[in-house]
Amino acid sequence: MPRGGLLARVVHRARKPNRVHVEKLKDHVPFWFVAAVLMFFAWLQIALNPFGFSDLTQRYSQDVSNLLITGPYLYPTTGRDKVSVALIEEYTLQALQMPWPWNYGAHKQALDAILQYHPKAVVVDFLFVDSRADDTLPDLIGEIDRYKKAGVPLYFEGGTDLPFGEHPLRPELAKAAYAILDPTIDVYDGVVRQYPASGHCYNAKGEVAGATCPSLALHVFRDVYPNMPLEPLKGRMELVWGTNTDPINLKWRTYHDEDGTTRPCSTQASAVLRIWRAFFDKSTAQGHCPYNGIVPVEALLRGDQDPDITTLLTDRVVFYGGALKGAQDTSYTPVNGLQANVFVHAMAMDNLISFHGKPYQNVMTVAGFTMGNEPAQVLAIIPVILILSFMHMRRVRARKTAKRPTHEEEGERDAIYEWFVDKGIENFWHWFGFFLGLSIGLLLALWVGLSVANWVEVVFISVELAAMLLIGVPDSFWGYLHHVAGGVPDDTKGATSA
């Protein structure tokens, strides 16, 4: 025994522990210590986000889920059948021989053509902020009045962060508009995965008057679907991107690849190939056609009689916008790559309709209390930790029993037990942790609407915790700390300890 006081003995045991004692003390690890170690490790991962692991896990898993699971199989087509996009693109300008930007009279003609199909509402995804001289401005104002008489809400967007102090919307249009909406879109790491719940308010003069109004899609949904109550949102919407594009798009929509070759809007691939692409070459797994149905504006201005146009515009929320090169009004999406922002607003509206006003969020509300992403994950991991700790304690007790054979038959049975349980349980233990975390996450998604991005990390951490228990990390900590503090195994009491 080393000379000196208590502190000297503690330091000596910490530097040169008795490994035999430590191994025996490991079998006396209490339940509370196992749970505490796991909780500390889980908190460390969730709160401190080491190496950005949490963010990468959440967003990467959200993208893969959209591409392989949520988008193609779980996301309903309810919203897709009620939201469409009337689109101006380069081909529109070429077909109509009309330069850009259009005058107000041309927009009036397009909106009038849409009105003939009796839509439920129309959102204009163009910014009219320039006070340019245009004799056709009264034509557009008159078209707004026709929408009012028809009982069809016609929304305009207001500009934000304008560099020269312009009005967010021309006062003449603002005075006549049904409502002015904030078109702000949230971009995370260059990709649109979330949608804001609130934005700027605008007054009748088209000026910014506050920052507490609902965002664009939420405002329209609240007005157009009053019989479908909107869940109070205390965080951002987590967008679920559908991948099964409207069948009408597949009839005519094409895209041009890098060498200029015209290809169909969507290509079929086997499940194995889609999985490979989603994990190792995500750009090839993405579709080339937006989810919501598209009406080419040139067909409207020509007056084409097409039953598909009737289907896409009648009694639907129609977003009238553009996908024009050089407009800088595009964002990257998880399932379709670079798309015009009008499709982001359409997808947000689609989510609200498909989920009946209760979209997935990045917060969790329980018993009236709202918590952010990190506290929600910590709360979600607690039942996982308690169950894993309970099962681990059963293994610890079984291990203690196996170390005290009473005769040869029991010793043989213990050896068989060790082989089939300790060895055979290894794979099961990892899978158990995985499915336990997955089950907790799915319950959160169904119960409180927590999105995949906000609970998927619980699954990965659950597997890590199961691996920690498999190699006995809490047991080793307890054995070492207990030994350093002066703990002695029962069967060595009275013997000289190091």
Distances (CA, A) of 30 to 421, 477, 487: 21, 11, 14
Sequence letter at residue 327: A
Query: How confident is the model at residue 114, as a pLDDT?
Result: 98
Query: How confident is the model at residue 495, as a pLDDT?
Result: 46
3-state secondary structure of 59: helix
Query: How confident is the model at residue 218, as a pLDDT?
Result: 96
Of 49, 71, 48, 50, which is closest to residue 452 (Cα–Cα)? Answer: 71
Instruction: Provide the whole-model pTM.
Output: 0.79
Give dist(CA 156, CA 206) in Å, integer: 10
Cis geometry, peptide bond prior to residue 247 (ω within 30 degrees of 0):
no
Give dist(CA 218, CA 320) in Å, integer: 17
Query: How confident is the model at residue 214, as a pLDDT?
Result: 93
Delimit the domains of the chain by residue range.
14-48+367-492, 73-362
Is the Cβ–Cβ distance between 198 and 213 less than 8 Å?
Answer: yes
Helical ranges in 151-266 per DSSP H:
171-176, 216-224, 247-252
Tell me the Cα Rg of the chain: 31
3-state secondary structure of 167: coil
Ranges of residues in the chain with a pLDDT under 50 are 407, 409-411, 494-498
Distances (CA, A) of 318 to 63, 121, 215, 440: 27, 6, 17, 38
